[in-house]
């Protein structure tokens, strides 16, 4: 059994949110201190329920995300997060908008991924209110 099968829906969401955040701040090739600070505050605010500490998970995620960006697999990487991000679509959108705007501008790559995220991957959950912790 894989670790993800043993994790709660909340923890799967936490991990997908971190992966999304790292993808969004790295995709334009420029990482700012404000983006890193925001990501750290998101990670610190999560109800972490994994035997892997958040710092180790984040380090691995940065490596995996860099690989996806370098090989041009950003869209399939984002698509792989869809199911878990839908768990709390509103929080996903809030974090995505914040991390792409925290440095004062959104790059073309960030805007493209935000559009895919909101219009394709999370649209149903956002419209129906499904996947939110109300």
Full pLDDT tens readout for the chain, 134 residues: 344 457 899 999 999 999 999 999 999 998 899 999 999 999 999 999 999 999 999 999 999 999 999 999 999 999 999 999 999 999 999 999 999 999 888 999 999 999 999 888 888 887 876 544 43
> To 10 degrees, what angle do helices 89-101 and 33-45 make?
160
- Residue 44: what are its φ and ψ, rounded to 5°? -65, -25
Element containing residue 128 per DSSP (H, E): helix 123-128
pTM beyond 0.85:
yes
Cα–Cα distance for residue pair 100/71, rounded to 1 Å: 21
Q: Is 18 helix (H, G, I), strand (E, B) or coil?
A: helix
Cα–Cα distance for residue pair 36/71, rounded to 1 Å: 23
DSSP notation for 67-86 = HHHHTT-HHHHHHTTHHHHG
Non-local CB neighbours of 84 within 8 Å, separated by 6+ positions: 9, 12, 13, 15, 16
Domains (range + CATH), the chain: 8-128 (1.10.3680)
Site of tokens 């805007």: 111
């Amino acid at each position: 059994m894989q670790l993800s099968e043993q994790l709660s829906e909340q923890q799967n969401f936490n991990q997908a949110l971190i992966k999304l955040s790292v993808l969004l701040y790295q995709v334009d090739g420029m990482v700012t201190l404000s983006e890193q600070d925001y990501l750290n505050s998101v990670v610190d605010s999560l109800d972490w329920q994994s035997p892997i500490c958040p710092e180790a998970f984040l380090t691995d995620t940065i490596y995996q995300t860099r690989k996806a960006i370098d090989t041009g697999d950003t869209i399939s990487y984002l698509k792989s997060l869809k199911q878990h991000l839908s768990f709390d679509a509103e929080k996903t959108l809030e974090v995505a908008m914040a991390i792409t705007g925290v440095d004062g501008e959104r790059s073309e790559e960030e805007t493209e991924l935000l559009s895919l995220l909101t219009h394709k991957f999370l649209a149903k959950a956002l419209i129906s209110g499904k996947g939110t912790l109300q």
